[in-house]
Amino acid sequence: MLGLAKRVGARFLLTSTSEVYGDPLQHPQVETYWGNVNPIGVRSCYDEGKRVAETLTMDYHRGAGIEVRIARIFNTYGPRMCIDDGRVVSNFVAQALRKEPMTVYGDGKQTRSFQYVSDLVEGLVRLMESEHIGPFNLGNPGEFTMLQLAEVVQETIDPKARIEFKPNTEDDPHMRKPDITKAKEQLGWEPTVSLRKGLPMMVSDFRQRIFGEQKAFSA
């Protein structure tokens, strides 16, 4: 894609990730933080893959003069996500709708920040239309533990939804929260949709697709 952008003179957008920060020793995370990543861990193919993608993007910018923009995207949710993609919000929502226990790994005290998809799209558009390269953190600074997220899902779907604890995965980051000062100042962007406002819109979509699919299979 970088080669194509070079040939046709296109502006190139890299959708990087908060995972470049690994299991951060700095909280919240700012764009100047280099991260704390295990290069041979079970998560390293994703973490290091995105880190080298940023490296290549900046090399093409410096060496070939192509226009580039880099966004570091934090956890994002919303309608039309894959129902069984393994991401925590879609996991919890699908499990609660199916009357299955919500799976919490470890003690549930690890934190994440969740942004609604429309906020992310607005941030990406503003980045591409700006004259700033980045990287920019694009995420919602509202921070929730996994147990707090499960409680919001219970409030939204079923107060009686159960929680099931399982052993934590290796190299799971303990904390994740973006510092979005740079995006506020240079892009005039910040998220506007809170988790409690955005989650019901996702739940409505999931409910329609899950139970719509079940009706189709039973017909």
Q: What distance in Å separates the CA atoms of residue 132 and residue 208, rounded to the nearest whole number?
A: 40
CA 47 → CA 51, 128, 144, 204, distances in Å? 6, 24, 22, 32
88, with CB counted inside 10 A (0-12, 13-18, 19+), is buried
46 is catalytic: yes
Q: What distance in Å separates the CA atoms of residue 179 and residue 17, rounded to the nearest whole number?
A: 14
DSSP strand E in the chain: where? 12-17, 68-73, 76-77, 102-105, 111-113, 115-116, 136-138, 143-145, 163-166
Backbone angles phi, psi at 44, to 5 degrees: -70, -30
Which residue of the set 21, 46, 60, 116 is catalytic? Answer: 46
Minimal CA–CA distance to 203: which of 144, 156, 151? 156
Per the CB < 8 A criterion, the answer to whether 23 and 174 are in contact is: yes
Active site amino acids: 46
